[in-house]
Homo-oligomer: A and B are copies of this chain.
Amino acid sequence: MARQPTLEFWYEFASTYSHLAAHRIEAAAEAAGVAVRWRPFLLGPLFASQGWTTSPFNLYPAKGRAMWRDVEREAAAAGLPPLTKPDPFPQNSLNAVRVAVYGQDQDWLVPFSKAVFAASFAQGKSIAEPGSVIAILDSLGLDGTQVLKASAAEANKTKLRVNVEEARSRGIFGAPTFLTDDGELFWGNDRMDQALAWASGDRPPGLR
């Protein structure tokens, strides 16, 4: 039997369009016959390299206003709960992403990640403080205090730094980003369908 193709889903907890993508990627991937590898990472270090000290949606107010309205529309169209705008935006996602990286190969990675997005963008909760992340872990039946502590160990912090450098070296500059087995990069929730099609071998005419 042929190996099932895999699509890497690189996401950042502070990213609005990652929230939209996380909601629908499982069903879309199943329909396309593609396995998904969830890859949490941090955008901050990549933004810092290009001189940005905050989200481009804050740096460029017209772009930011259009984004918030767009995400509101897209969430409604996707049947998601009304969007809550994190305050402050972007949320500091370091604690949550460390936990996600720590859980990279655990069966709780996906439910944890979806719960973080829901807390931040649907329930209007902070995800920045350790207590917020612990509460999400606890709600999944894990020992939140223990997991958070383990995620702050030096080895896991290094793992996150390596992930960020991997993202950079593979051409990632924003989130969400989808990467196929053959290295094709698709940026944005808008490109999920194209990425899944590419992963499953369905490519635009003349391209490979």
Our pick among B50, B62, B74, B187 for the contact of A66 (Cβ within 8 Å) is: B187
> Given A76-B206, A76-B207, A187-B66: A60 and B194 within 8 A (CB)?
no
A73 to B204, CA, bound (A): 6
> Given A63-B174, A82-B206: A185 and B76 within 8 A (CB)?
no
A24 at the interface (CB under 8 A from B): no
Q: Which residues of B contact A204 (CB under 8 A)?
A: 73-74, 76-77
Given contacts A63-B187, A76-B207, 14 further A-B contacts (CB under 8 A): A62-B171, A62-B173, A63-B173, A63-B174, A66-B171, A69-B184, A70-B186, A73-B194, A73-B204, A73-B207, A76-B205, A77-B194, A77-B205, A79-B205
- Is there an interface contact between B72 and A207, defined as CB atoms closer than 8 Å? yes
A30 at the interface (CB under 8 A from B): no
A163 to B79, CA, bound (A): 37
**Per-residue B-contact encoding for A156-196, CB less than 8 Å = 1, 0 else:** 00000000000010011110000000001111101100100
A82 to B206, CA, bound (A): 9
- Is there an interface contact between A173 and B66, defined as CB atoms closer than 8 Å? yes
A149 at the interface (CB under 8 A from B): no
User: Interface residues of A, CB < 8 Å — how many?
Assistant: 33
**Per-residue B-contact encoding for A195-208, CB less than 8 Å = 1, 0 else:** 00000000011110
Taken together, the copies of this chain in the complex come to 2
Closest beta carbon of chain B to A112's beta carbon, Å: 28
A60 to B52, CA, bound (A): 11
Which residue of chain B lies nearest to A52 when distances are taken between CB atoms in the complex?
B60
A83 to B208, CA, bound (A): 15
Q: Which residues of B contact A59 (CB under 8 A)?
A: 50
A82 to B207, CA, bound (A): 10
> Given A73-B194, A186-B70: A62 and B206 within 8 A (CB)?
no
Q: Which residues of B contact A188 (CB under 8 A)?
A: 190
